[in-house]
Chain A
């Protein structure tokens, strides 16, 4: 990953800090259509993702995250990226996309972005399962 000028000698990029300071879509959706609960086996952090879905489009999203700055920022930007998107597209979001959208992450923090990818996929899967559908249709 190229050196990000926005870091200005700091550990995290300004984009990461922006999302950390004011995370988007944090909270809980009580009547969610799909819920993803994932944990990070590396450092023990946890993320829950809640989805409202209509016609296979993510109409609302919320997250709860216990984790580091990178974990909170990746949760926030991931929700920002996929809200309003069709499930099929959201399914394709990778940890790399999430990290890139934040202008990069420190090498030892890259694993934090996996939480967002996995959480989102778990929530989509949960929704599809309830519908009697399978993720195979997205593959």
Chain B
């Protein structure tokens, strides 16, 4: 199996699993209880929070554990705007955000009458900071821009964008999910007020995430209950998950510089060889800085789902932004926002590597993909005669 869908999820690192195991069966108590075995776990929890904070270069009381990236995006944006509802009901985000942000904006618009501005991106997939500046109004409560896009890997100028927002007195949230583990992320350096992190995108477990909440940033909890996480997010703490995400962060921060250059080398090799071997392929996002593990291509005259399945038959797992692969039967909103034709979004493929990906894996893909493309082009009503 050659698994190249690591932006979707990653296998949990066996070391992470090993670290988590005792916390399911032996050290299982509820940290809110007062007897010894529980109180000790409270210590484990706070110690883990400290270590996580240190890696992310923030204060430990700025780390709020929750169930994942989606929840972190939800509670950060909702928690921020509800705490500042007197300021105004305007949100700025980008047209390429993950659904975890876009759907929150839609929700706030529908039920709380917020106005949403979606910043466009250029053909490289990057927002325009001047447009951001011009979009801010006295009513703007928050700006939410992702660090790296899940489909194209394109990195946004978060530091600069956050500065623009702050200069106008507006708070800034960033979905950091695809950045962590792939590029070094220093949250204080980025200067954001809220951030979202997901465990399973960097070989941690699922069901655990982190909301970064800058000390003093306006916030009200939208998950109410027993006052956990310093009243920021209720719910019995997922200790195995917290141990897991900490371990995964430790491993990835240790390996990141080596891992990033390894992935970049293989990604570039895949990109260049595809361009060499397959005519009429577009590289989506190639003119922007990208996280090192992601390659998004559009293959002219073919559809993505059929390529995904043919690759799967050969033991290679990738994904596509084709309309046919989405539940909504609409092609990738990210690629369309970059100005791609519907047909090119339809023929898109995303390869997302991991630190475990080998040169042999990439060579195998380069052997398997070209004949698949030729076969589908032969069948395609649109392919010009030279492909028949």
A, B: real partners: yes
Enumerate chain A interface residues (CB-CB to B < 8 A): 12, 17, 20-21, 23, 26-28, 37, 42-48, 64-72, 108, 111-112
10 A-B pairs in the complex with CB atoms less than 8 angstroms apart = A20-B309, A26-B378, A26-B379, A44-B331, A44-B342, A46-B381, A46-B382, A47-B381, A69-B305, A71-B306
B297-332 CB mask vs A (1 if < 8 Å, else 0) is 000011101100100010000000011110101110
Which residues of the partner chain A approach B331 to less than 8 Å between Cβ atoms?
A: 43-44
Chain B nearest CB from A63 CB (Å) reads 8
Which of A66, A71, A111 is close to B301, meaning CB atoms less than 8 Å apart? A66
Q: Is B232 among interface residues, defined by CB-CB distance under 8 A?
A: no
**What is the bound-complex CA distance between A115 and B388, given in angstroms?**
22
**What is the bound-complex CA distance between A65 and B327, given in angstroms?**
21
Total contacting residues, chain B, CB less than 8 A: 24
User: Given known contacts A43-B329, A44-B342, A108-B329, is B309 in contact with A66 (CB within 8 Å)?
Assistant: no
Which of A17, A47, A48, A68 is close to B324, meaning CB atoms less than 8 Å apart? A68
Q: Is B380 among interface residues, defined by CB-CB distance under 8 A?
A: yes
Q: Is B343 among interface residues, defined by CB-CB distance under 8 A?
A: yes
Q: Flag if A68 contacts B379 (CB, 8 Å).
A: no
Q: Flag if B380 contacts A66 (CB, 8 Å).
A: yes
Q: Flag if B324 contacts A45 (CB, 8 Å).
A: yes
User: Given known contacts A43-B323, A108-B327, is B379 in contact with A64 (CB within 8 Å)?
Assistant: yes
Other A-B pairs beyond A27-B378, A42-B323, A42-B329, 15, CB < 8 Å: A20-B306, A27-B379, A43-B322, A43-B323, A43-B346, A44-B323, A44-B346, A65-B381, A66-B303, A66-B380, A66-B381, A67-B303, A67-B324, A68-B305, A68-B324
Enumerate chain B interface residues (CB-CB to A < 8 A): 301-303, 305-306, 309, 313, 322-325, 327, 329-331, 342-343, 346, 378-382, 388
Scoring B322, B324, B380 by chain A CB atoms within 10 A of each residue's CB, the highest score goes to B324
Which residues of the partner chain A approach B309 to less than 8 Å between Cβ atoms?
A: 12, 17, 20, 69
Which residues of the partner chain A approach B388 to less than 8 Å between Cβ atoms?
A: 28
Chain A nearest CB from B332 CB (Å) reads 12
**What is the bound-complex CA distance between A48 and B379, given in angstroms?**
10
Residue of B nearest to A23 (CB): B379
Residue of A nearest to B346 (CB): A44
Chain A nearest CB from B310 CB (Å) reads 8
Chain A nearest CB from B335 CB (Å) reads 13
Residue of B nearest to A67 (CB): B303
Residue of B nearest to A63 (CB): B379
